[in-house]
Structure formats: C-alpha cells, structure tokens
Amino acid sequence: MPMVSLIVPVYNEHATIAHSLRTILAAADSGMRVADTRRFAEQPQVRPIEGDRLELIAVDDGSGDASAEEIRRAAASDNRIRLLSFTRNFGKEAAIQAGLVHSRGDAVIVLDCDLQHPPNLIPHMVRLWREGWLVVDAVKQQRGNESLAARLYANAFYALFQRLAGLDLRGHSDFKLLDRTVVDAYLAFPERGRFFRGLIHWSCYPSAQIAFSVPDRAGGGGSQWSRIRLLRYAIDNITSFSSMPLRIVSLLGLFTLGVGGIIGAISLIQKFNGQAIGGFTTVILLLVLIGGAILSALGIIGHYLARLYDEVKARPGCVIKPLNREQP
Ligand code: UDP
Ligand code: MG
C-alpha cells in the first residue's frame, strides 16, 4: 500500500500551525482521492488512492514558542501527524534533512507550514508522480508580496548562483515531491552542508514542473529570515556549489602582480632618469589596495577551509529531543 509523506519544517508558528496542519492534511486527503479516482477511470489498471496512507512529519526547528505543543495536540487527534523536535534552532535545511531521514513514504513532499506553498497543489503533484515522474518541482511564477529589497536580493543571488555554479534556480523552491528512490539517493550523499533545492536540481532526475504564485503568509507577517541570515545562507550555498571564488583569488593575485610589475618598472625608470618624486600617496594607496586584496583572498580561502573543517568533523546537522521526556 503506497504511502505519501508530507514534511513540514516549523519554526515559531504556534499561532497558525494547528490550522495549517489541518489545511495541508485536508488538501492532501480529499484532493488525492479525487485525483486518483479520475486517473482510475482513465486507466483501470491503476487502483484508486483511497487505500493510500499519509503521514505528516512536522519538524519543530527549536521553536521558542508553543509550536511543539500545538503539533503534539494535533497529533493526539490525528495519528498521521508525527512530531520531530530539535533541541535548538538548527535551520530549515536541517529540518528538511531530518524529515527526509524519518520519512517512510514511497513519495515525499516537502512544504512550508505557513501555507505559502499552496497545499492544494499536492493532488496534482501526486498525480504526476503516479504518472512516473521521480521529482515534481513547484516553481514560483509570482514571488508574491515582498519588499523590493528582498526581490533584488533574490535576483542577485540566483544570477550569481547561475554564473558561478552553472545551475539556473530561478523560481525554484523547497516545495517538491520526491520519489523514494530520489530520497534514498539524496540521503546517501556524504555531504553535510546541504542546499536541498540546489542538490535536487543538480541531481537532474526527470522532473515535472508546476507553477504557483506565492500567497501571503498564513497569519500575516513576513519571512523569518533576517538579511544577515539570508546572506550567510547565500554565501554557503554558492561556495558549496562552486570553487570559482577560489579561482578568482588566483586571478586577483595575478592581476595585482601585473599591476605591481608595471608600477615597479615605471618607478625604476624614473629613479634611473633622476625623476623620482616623493610618492607617499602612491605608496599608501598601494599598501591599502594590496592589503585589501590579500585579506579578501584570505577570507575566501578561510571560508572554504571552514566548510572543509565542518565536513571533516562530520558533526550531525541537528539534535532531536528524545520522545516522551517532558522538561523537568
Ligand atoms: N523555518 C524553519 N527554520 C528556520 C526558519 C524557518 O524551519 O530557522 C520554516 C518556517 O516555519 C516555514 C519555512 O521554514 O515553514 C519557511 O520559512 P519562512 O516562511 O520564514 O521563509 P520564506 O517564506 O521567506 O521562504
Ligand atoms: Mg514563508
């Protein structure tokens, strides 16, 4: 009996989470039945989906509010809901990873819990999976209500990512359906610092795409990602997919060497011609320029070294709270 797992990362969403989980499950439930009955009529050899099972894994990413309690309450009234609770905030990527590790479904759907990934697309995704697609991507056609700065920021990231990593992720989101074979292959990657949507796109499995417009956040309000956190996320993702910045460091070195050679030659000629002048400003400028170039180069190398260090340490990406252990 096939099973579909829904993975929902949750961080400080106590006001809306109960309603969101109900909405997601209701959409998956009723929609899947309709979707598959229709398909059953077209292809009698495919049995209807009524017997299919659903599980919803809500991953509480160390929320500081009552999200976990809300999920526990929802799970008490619907045994298809399971709660995984982190000991602290490890980030959405870690929540997705933990959800995938604990999922049992033949297909797995990852979606946000703020209903910005419209649950009513789930039946369509499942239908495409049943038609044989291993991956179904929900692609943002409209990014919805967000500030101009956020839009520019996202565009700059995707343009840079495409240039440096060679992957066009414009419009891509974490809202995806993955077949079990894809989940198992993904989980077998030894890499720890993961960029879910980047890695799935990079894997290049046959994928169907469905477009969606991002609705407003359930309960209003804005994204939980601060600018600094987004910047760190962007740098990590770019450097995990491209070593181009390291190559740029060598180019920068060559460029500085070239400029230094020219200026050095000019100075020597001037000195031998007796035209040497007090070049205090030039010296200061050169010092600042070269110092800046060396420090940025070291920064870039340091970043890769830190990533290497993290991968070598192989520390788990998250720690899950033991079940049935209430806080003393
Ligand atoms: N989220 C999470 N950990 C975090 C931040 C966010 O699990 O540290 C969850 C959040 O609860 C939501 C999803 O990730 O389900 C997307 O977060 P958000 O809506 O803030 O981001 P955006 O819509 O801007 O992508
Ligand atoms: Mg959101």
What tokens were used for 214?
């991002």
Q: Compute the average pLDDT of residues 259-276.
A: 84
> Is residue 50's pLDDT more than 80?
no
pLDDT band at 143 (very low <50, low <70, confident <90, very high): confident
pLDDT band at 284 (very low <50, low <70, confident <90, very high): confident
Q: What is the pLDDT of residue 184?
A: 98
Task: Could you list the beta-strand ranges (E) of the chain.
Answer: 3-10, 53-60, 81-85, 107-110, 135-142, 176-179, 207-213
Q: What is the pLDDT of residue 274?
A: 83
CA distances from 293 to 111, 266, 281 (A): 42, 22, 18
List CB contacts of 79: < 8 A, sequence separation 6 or more.
none
> Is residue 41's pLDDT more than 80?
no
Q: Compute the average pLDDT of residues 36-54.
A: 52
Q: Which atom of ligand 1 is nearest to the CA of 113?
A: 15
Kindly compute the dihedral angle of the four CA atoms of residues 47, 111, 117, 119, in this order, to the nearest 10 degrees: 30
Q: What is the pLDDT of residue 47?
A: 42
Q: What is the pLDDT of residue 33?
A: 63
Q: What is the pLDDT of residue 263?
A: 85
Considering only residues 53 and 95, tell me which one the structure prediction assigns the higher pLDDT.
Answer: 95
Place of tokens 């929609």: 31
Element spanning 163, H or E: helix 148-165
Q: Compute the average pLDDT of residues 24-35.
A: 76
Question: Which residue's CA lies nearest to atom 18 of ligand 1?
Answer: 223
Q: Report how far residue 244's alpha carbon sits from residue 306's, in angstroms, rounded to the nearest whole number.
A: 16
**pTM listed for this prediction:** 0.89
Give residue 26's region: left, alpha or beta (phi > 0; psi -120 to 50).
alpha
Residue 180: how many CB atoms within 10 A of its CB?
Answer: 17
Q: CB–CB of 192/308 below 8 Å?
A: no
Q: Compute the average pLDDT of residues 223-235.
A: 92
Question: Which residue's CA lies nearest to atom 16 of ligand 1?
Answer: 112
pLDDT band at 45 (very low <50, low <70, confident <90, very high): very low
> Is residue 81's pLDDT more than 60?
yes
- Residue ranges covered by each domain of the chain: 4-150+168-222, 244-313
Q: What is the mean pLDDT of the chain?
A: 89
Q: CB–CB of 110/176 below 8 Å?
A: yes
Q: What is the pLDDT of residue 40?
A: 46
Q: What is the pLDDT of residue 57?
A: 98
Architecture of the domain delimited by 4-150+168-222: Alpha-Beta Complex (3.90)
- Digit-coded pLDDT (tens) for 285-311: 888 888 888 999 999 999 999 999 999
Q: Report how far residue 189's alpha carbon sits from residue 187's, in angstroms, rounded to the nearest whole number.
A: 5
The alpha carbon of 223 and the centre of ligand 1 are apart by a number of angstroms equal to: 7
> Is residue 134's pLDDT more than 70?
yes
What tokens were used for 226?
């601060």
Q: CB–CB of 166/98 below 8 Å?
A: no
The alpha carbon of 225 and the centre of ligand 1 are apart by a number of angstroms equal to: 7
Pocket of ligand 1 (CB under 6 A): 9-11, 13, 61, 89, 91-92, 95, 112-114, 116, 223-225
Q: What is the pLDDT of residue 46?
A: 40
Beta bridge partners of 135: 178, 207
